[in-house]
Amino acid sequence: MPRFSIIVPSHGVAGRLPQALDSVLGQSFGDFELIPVTDGPDAPAQAVAAGYAERDCRVAPVHSPPAVGLAGARDVGLRAATGDWLLFLDGDDTLLPGALAALDARLGETGDVDVLYFEHERTPWWTGEPANPAAPVLARTPDGAFPPERAPHLTGVELPAWSAAYQRAFLTERQLTFPEGRFTDIGFGGLVSLSAERVAVLRQVVVRHLLRRQGNRLGLPGGHHFELLAQAELVLARAAELELPAERFGPLFEQLFAAVLKTAAHPRRLPRRRRAFFQRASGLYRRYRPAGYRTPGGSLGVQHRLLASGAYLAFRALRGANRALARAVSAVPRPRGLWTRLRYRHRLRTRLDANLAVYCAYWGRGYVCNPAAIHAKARELAPHIRSVFLVEADRAHTVPEGVEYAVIGSREYWDVLARAKYLINNANFADAVVKRKGSVHLSTQHGTPLKKMGADQATYPVVAAATGSFARLLARVDRWDFNLSSNPHSTQMWERAFPATHETLEYGYPRNDVYCTATADDVARVRRELGVPEDKKALLYAPTHRDHATGFETGLDLRALCEEIGDEYVVLLRAHYFYDRGAARGTGRIIDVTGHRSAEDVCLAADALITDYSSIMFDYANLDRPIVVYADDWDVYRELRGVYFDLMEAPPGRVARTPGELAAVLRDGSYADEEADALRAAFRERFCQFDDGHAAERVVRRVLLGEPPEALPPVVPLAERVPAPAATTLVRS
């Protein structure tokens, strides 16, 4: 007769069953039998179990039809078992190494007991910290073997069946089996606890339970939640029949109705018949409430009293109020960590530092974009203001020498955010950041909007799902005092997308100043850094992100394109910043510049731009160099992402719909002919009004130095600007 019988139901987990069986067969303690319970001779798990049985005589598969469910499968295994002690393991769970040896040793210490409870670990399916919910329950029990009345809180209904070892003779003598239906662990655990005379605990993790990606099937919506009431009634009726003392009946009653109330208050679990569930639960509550039972305090106590009185409408109103409160509390920004929250809260009470400015770009990706350009100009025009740039830890090495920075999440990060008067970002600061009275928040944005942004995304399901809570988005927008715009189109679209009380500054984008200030030497230097040969023309290919796609795909065979257009060209590939691959890399005629710090430098190096719907086209137009729109999926993008205007009606240059068309306009030079020039000129008139090389100066003088608008440098007319020169002549000879 083996020491242990391990029963493993396998319905729906054939793919993970070998992991469970291996965890048992790999135990250092070998005196056991392993009983996989499969659905039948033709079930997927049967072949797995049969293979193990051929290799190890301790494996003895049995069959149980799927119709009888988990309870029936366990009972079939129970009847087939011959061991002294029974363990139930789900097919996607594992025994930890040394588990059986630890159980055997503990049973040797405790002597004759009916049940040995032990700890288990719940492990997230992908990432996250495992949890041990049994530990606090078992921590409050006596050290040796004890009768259940010495630990009345150990009712059995809070622990799954696979968190205990059961003496087989005890189960057989008391005729204890798993109750039919769902939530069978609650019924079985309660009945076992009511029948046991001596129990013990092992304060050690024995089973590792893998949480399913789709969650517990019992938590899905449906009428099966009424079976929870059936299991609760089964246990309560047995407790009443045994005339269980009040000191034990009270905890059992409370734990059962904690599960019932959790379901009653969960709107998605009971899409229909919620009132019927509540009324039946109310009847059980009144029928089995122990004499002298005192309801718990707080909101849970209110729910108990409403259930006792059958006040469904009041319970529903309370549930709605609690949900609204939970949503409000979750929307309240708070840094992670108690000590960090307390420190940040304390710093918020200190005086604002009028000479402290905090900058951040792209959620901490580095010293880039409009915030970097403003920061550089502030060091020149407002040197008395201390400037701190916020970056992620893995980007700290990219911050230029001499630029003070703080790592996001660090103590210094929260300190400067709490005390800074000026907060400048091209995206948004964390929800936890509080808008203090007297502080000045500037949103610089990071592009001219072609695609729908902010609140305008709400009607596009794909992007709306990625955006998350629009209420939280607009709460972040409400912190803004100023919002930067580079053209009248942006001004109008930002007002739609981000409705709030901030002031729009039509000053241009500071990052684009370089397009008017860079020299031929600057262009040559950047090309050398990127590895562009002196005798080649550089085509910048910069596609945008597709919200409906996963991962980065160019959508264009760049090698084939290079073969088509001739060897006088090289292609600079710059993917969306979501797909930053690190440092710039060259592969012959295709140079990956996605990881290069400065998009502006890359644009300066390029003789022409090929893009689809990326906002880089609006910035590149300031250079007055040729632009080709490669619009192979415009109709799909417009439908799924949403756009503010029809780019095909007003493009910045030639439009190609296929790789062949793109190669043709590059090969014959039409991408830089008079018609392309005319399209680009109209585009520049519409979208390049304010980018004249002085945007950063206007921002610093207005926002940081407080100068009035009339004192700022006026915008240089488009016709009077001299863009940075291109490195090569573009029309083919």
How does pLDDT run across 109-136, given as a tens digit for each residue? 999 999 999 999 988 765 567 889 999 9
Taking the model in full, what pTM does it have?
A: 0.56
User: Is the Cβ–Cβ distance between 399 and 725 less than 8 Å?
Assistant: no
Residue of 584, 593, 582 lying closest to 542 (CA atoms): 593
Mean pLDDT of 686-713: 96
The more confidently predicted of residues 652 and 305 is 652
pLDDT band at 251 (very low <50, low <70, confident <90, very high): very high
Report pLDDT digits (tens) over 556-566: 889 999 999 98
Residue 689 CA neighbour count, 13 Å, CB half: 12
Q: Is pLDDT above 80 for 369? A: yes
User: By C-alpha distance, which of 205, 224, 226 is closest to 216?
Assistant: 224
| pLDDT for position 729 | 54
Contact 454, 616 (CB under 8 A): no
Which range has the top average pLDDT, 102-116, 213-227, 334-348? 102-116
- pLDDT of 104 strictly over 70: yes
Residue pair 621/540 in contact (Cβ under 8 Å)? The answer is no
For the four alpha carbons of 482, 483, 487 and 488, in that order, the dihedral sign comes to negative
Contact 673, 680 (CB under 8 A): no
Residue 602 φ/ψ, nearest 5 degrees: -60, -40
Residue 542 CA: distances (Å) to CA of 363, 514, 579, 620, 630: 21, 19, 12, 11, 10
Highest mean pLDDT among 136-140, 206-210, 381-385: 381-385
pLDDT beyond 60 at 184:
yes
Cα–Cα distance for residue pair 114/196, rounded to 1 Å? 6
Residues 347 and 415: their CA atoms lie apart, in Å, by 7
Residue 454 pLDDT: 84
Write the DSSP string, 42-111: TSHHHHHHHHHHHH-TTB--EE--GGGHHHHHHHHHHHH--SSEEEE--TTEEEPTTHHHHHHHHHHHH-
Q: Does 355 score more than 90 pLDDT?
A: yes
Q: Is residue 534 predicted with pLDDT exceeding 60?
A: yes
Host H or E run for residue 285: helix 274-288
Helical (H) or strand (E) element with 230: helix 226-241
Q: Which of 61, 70, 12 is nearest to 41 (CA)?
A: 61
pLDDT given for residue 472 in this prediction: 80
Instruction: Say whether pLDDT at 650 is over 50.
Output: yes
34-43, 172-181, 183-192, 651-660: segment of lowest average pLDDT = 34-43
pLDDT for 579 equals 42
**Mean local confidence (pLDDT), 90-118:** 94
| Higher per-residue pLDDT: 271 or 484 | 484
User: Mean pLDDT over residues 651-680, rounded?
Assistant: 95
Report the candidate in 610, 689, 686 with the shortest Cα–Cα distance to residue 644. Answer: 686
Interval 426-452: pLDDT, tens? 998 988 899 999 999 999 999 999 998
**Mean pLDDT score of the chain:** 88
DSSP class per residue in 521-576:
HHHHHHHHHHT--TTSEEEEEEPPP-TTS-S---SS-HHHHHHHH-TTEEEEE---
**Spatial separation of the C-alpha atoms in residues 718 and 733, rounded to whole Å:** 30
Q: How confident is the model at residue 331 (pLDDT cuts 50, 70, 90)?
A: low
C-beta separation of 613 from 544 below 8 A: yes
- Orientation angle between helical segments 246-264 and 226-241, nearest 10 degrees: 170
Percent of the chain residues topping a pLDDT of 70: 91
Residue 578: pLDDT over 50: no
Range of weakest confidence among 98-107, 576-585, 708-717: 576-585
Average pLDDT over residues 368-379: 96
Tell me, what's the pLDDT at 91? 85
Return the SS3 of 223: helix
* Pair 507, 702: CB distance under 8 Å: yes
Residue with the bigger pLDDT between 302 and 503: it is: 503
Output 552 or 655, whichever has higher pLDDT: 655
Q: How much is the pLDDT for 577?
A: 47
Going by their DSSP bridges, the two strands 199-210 and 93-95 should be labelled as antiparallel
Q: What is the mean pLDDT of residues 54-82?
A: 92
Provide the pLDDT confidence category of residue 582 given band limits of 50, 70 and 90. Answer: very low
Question: Across-strand partners of 726?
Answer: none
List, for residues 478-525, the tens digit of each pLDDT value: 899 999 999 989 988 888 788 888 899 999 999 999 999 999 999 999
pLDDT at 17 over 90: no
Q: Is the pLDDT of residue 549 over 60?
A: no
User: For the chain, what's the residue count?
Assistant: 733
Residue closest to 260 by CA, chosen among 271, 247, 269: 269
526 Cβ contact list (under 8 Å, min separation 6): 601, 602, 604, 605
With a pLDDT cut of 90, the percent of the chain lying above it is 63
- Residue range 130-172, pLDDT digits in tens: 889 999 999 999 999 999 999 999 999 999 999 999 999 999 9
Sheet bearing 93-95, strands edge to edge: 62-63, 32-38, 4-9, 85-88, 164-167, 115-123, 199-210, 93-95
Q: Higher-confidence residue: 225 or 253?
A: 253
Residue 232, pLDDT > 60, answer: yes
